[in-house]
Amino acid sequence: MLVGAIGCSEFSLHEEPVLPPAVPPGRDQGPGGVPPDWNDCEGGYAGHYFNLPDDHPDVETRVSSLDGVDWWDERYASFERYEPSLDLGPSWWPVDEAFANDPRYFAAVWYGWIRVEEGGGYPVIAGSATDLQVVVGETVVVEQIGATELDTRTYDVDLQSGVAPVVVRFAHRIGEEDGMRFRFGTDQVQLCYPAWE
C-alpha cells in the first residue's frame, strides 16, 4: 500500500486482491496431466507423435473400431510438442524419420483440459483423413474411421458443466490425402494446456 500527502489531502493506493473464478466441479486427474490453473490458462494441447512402420498390420487396411488399436503405443513414439491449435488443415505431414514410406503413416494424440460453465449442446468442428477420435471426460464425442479425404463437419456435442480432460487421437494409415481439423466452435468452452505435478 502506498500512502502520501499532497497539500492538505491524504490519499492511499492499494490493489484489491484478485479473486479466482470459481472452478466448476470436475475430474481431478486425466491422462494428460492435472487441471491447469484457470487464472493463468494457456490454450493448446500437449501433442505426442508416433511413426507407424509400413508393415504395421493396420496400414492400408480398413478397421471398424479404434478399440484396442496400438497406433499410440510408446514403441512407435517419435516426438512431443505443444500445439496451440488442432486446425492443422490438409497436406499435413509432421513425422518423417526416413522410415520406409515416411511421412505417410503416422499417428498423434493430444491432451488438454476444458472448462464448461453451463452444460448443454455445443458445436465441435472436426475432420480427418484417415482416423479421428475425440474423448471428453470418458465419453467419445466424435469418431471418424477410415476417411480417405479431409471432410470437416460440425457436430453438436453435449457437454456437462465442469472441468474435464479432452483427448484427441488421430492416425493417417490409408490413402494419399492427409489432414486434420478439430476445435470447439464456441467461446463458452475454455481450453487449457495441461499441468503436471
CATH of the domain at 163: 2.60.120.1560
Q: pLDDT tens digits for 181-190?
A: 999 999 999 9
Segment (H or E) for 9: strand 9-13
Please tell me which residue, 3 or 158, carries the higher pLDDT value.
158
Listing DSSP states for 95-121 in one string gives --SS-TTTTSSEEEEEEEEEEESS-EE
Q: What is the pTM of this model?
A: 0.82
What domain range includes position 65? 32-192
In a domain, 15, yes or no: no
In a domain, 25, yes or no: no
Which of 189, 66, 74 has the alpha carbon at shortest distance from 136? 189
Q: Indicate the number of domains in the chain.
A: 1
Q: pLDDT tens digits for 37-75?
A: 888 888 999 999 999 999 999 999 999 999 999 999 999
In a domain, 89, yes or no: yes
Q: pLDDT tens digits for 124-149?
A: 999 999 899 999 999 999 999 999 89
